[in-house]
Each structure stands twice: as C-alpha cells, then as structure tokens.
Amino acid sequence: MRFDVVTLFPEMLVPFASEGILRGAQDKGLLEIHLHDLRLFSPDPRGLVDDRPFGGGAGMVMRPEPFVRALEAITGEIGRRPYAVLLSAQGIRFTQEVAKDLARRGAVALLCGRYEGVDERVALLCDLELSIGDFVLAGGELAAAVVVEATARMVPGVVGRHESAATDSFYAGPVLGYPQYTRPRVFQGMEVPPVLLSGDHEKIRRWREKEAWKKTLRNRPDLVGLKTPSSPRPT
C-alpha cells in the first residue's frame, strides 16, 4: 500500500515514518510512505500557499492550486489517481471501519491543511474529508500520522500476527479491547485475574468478552447508544 502525505512540514513526519512497524513494513515492501512539500507545488514563485479569505475574517486560507498540483504529480508518478483525503476538523469521524476501507484503496493521498483552513474547493475535489476527533489542531500532520498508522495495521503482514490487529478495540464492532495483563502476577497489591492463569481457553475467551463489554459501557457507552460520561472518572 502507498501513502502520499502532502504537507507544509514534511520533516515533522520523517521520524514517524522511519520507526516501528511502519519502518519494518516498508523494509518488507508492504508499505510506501512518501512525503511531499506543498510549497513545491505553489503557482507563486515565492512558494506562497495561502491568501486572505473572501468575505473577510481572521487568518489566512490555503489556496486550492498547490493541493491540486500535488495530486496531479502523484497521479503521474504512480499511473493512477490516489484516493484523496483532506484532513479537516469539518470532516467525517475517523473510525476503524474507515481505516479498513482506506487499506483496501491501495494508494491514499493525505492532504494536510494549516492556518484558518483550506479552500472548500479542495474538499469538493477530494474523495473524503476526514477528522480524527472533535477538536482542532494547528495542522493536519498529526492527523495524517494517526490515519497512516491505523490504516497500515489493516494491511496484511504489517502487524506481525494478524490476531494482534484482530483483537484491537473497534476491529470487530463497537466494542473496546479486553484488559491485558503480563508479569508480575502481583503489582502494588493488584493481582492478575486467576482465570487468565487457568489454562482454560474457553473460560478465558468468555472472560475477555465480558470484560471488553464492561470496559465499553464504562468508558464509551456512546458506542452502544448510551449517554457518554460528562467527565473523567475520579482518581
């Protein structure tokens, strides 16, 4: 699978793309991650990519031409148009299901905005406008990192054992992952649940399913249509 990330700050993502499972997947030829400097596609000889908004308002808006030129360059390089995603707080919510869908696309271009936003015509020309949550970041780079890693995990072979990804939260539906434990068996007075030491795989499976639902109802009741807690649980 190929990712192309178009950003004003490609150097921000170089360390991210060079470590961990992403590095290993690239070494095995399962992934390609290409970073593109948006300024190189500017029609302005000074490399400017933003301008004042029509209708007035604070801040600057990113012009459409650099993004479109970047997509055209990527299309020419790989021989087909990538699935184009604009990262925006105004987009649909990024979920595990979206990650699975992106992983089937083969080639995905992630467009990172900055400033007060991106000219709406870029969103109209993209295949998807995507948000990683109900909050605002300074730019789309961190969102791109989230989308790349979550999507890459859905590509066969990227995660060492497919079961590791298949037991992730949200993978099989609106339920969080079950609690995990490792050594030591007792830590600060807290013991590993005895069922996990029993060797009875069916009992362990049932315990994990039950605990996954308990955690979902406690931390994310909205996933099953219940009211979300208004504040973190007390410490």
CATH code of the domain in which 221 resides: 1.10.1270.20
| Identity of residue 233 | R
Q: Express each pLDDT in 207-225 by its tens digit.
A: 999 999 999 999 999 988 8
Query: Which of 118, 152, 186 is the last residue in one of the domains?
Result: 152
Higher pLDDT, 164 or 178: 178
Residues 37 and 131 in one domain: yes
In angstroms, how far is CA 117 from the centroid of its own chain?
A: 19
d(CA 2, CA 31): 6
On the question of pLDDT at 42 being above 50, the answer is yes
91-100, pLDDT tens digit by residue? 999 999 999 9
Let me know whether 131 and 24 are in one domain.
yes
> Same domain, yes or no, for 147 and 50?
yes
Any idea what the CATH number is for the domain that residue 50 is in?
Answer: 3.40.1280.10
Asked whether residue 125 carries a pLDDT value surpassing 90, the answer given is yes
* pLDDT bucket at 235, cuts 50 / 70 / 90: very low
Provide the b/e sequence for 201-229 (b: ≥16 CB within 10 Å). Answer: eeebeebbeebbeebbeeebeebeeeeee
Q: Domain span at residue 233? A: 175-235
Name the least confident of 21-25, 68-72, 166-170. 166-170
CA distance from start to end of the chain: 43
- Residue 164: what pLDDT? 53
- pLDDT > 70 in the chain, percent: 91
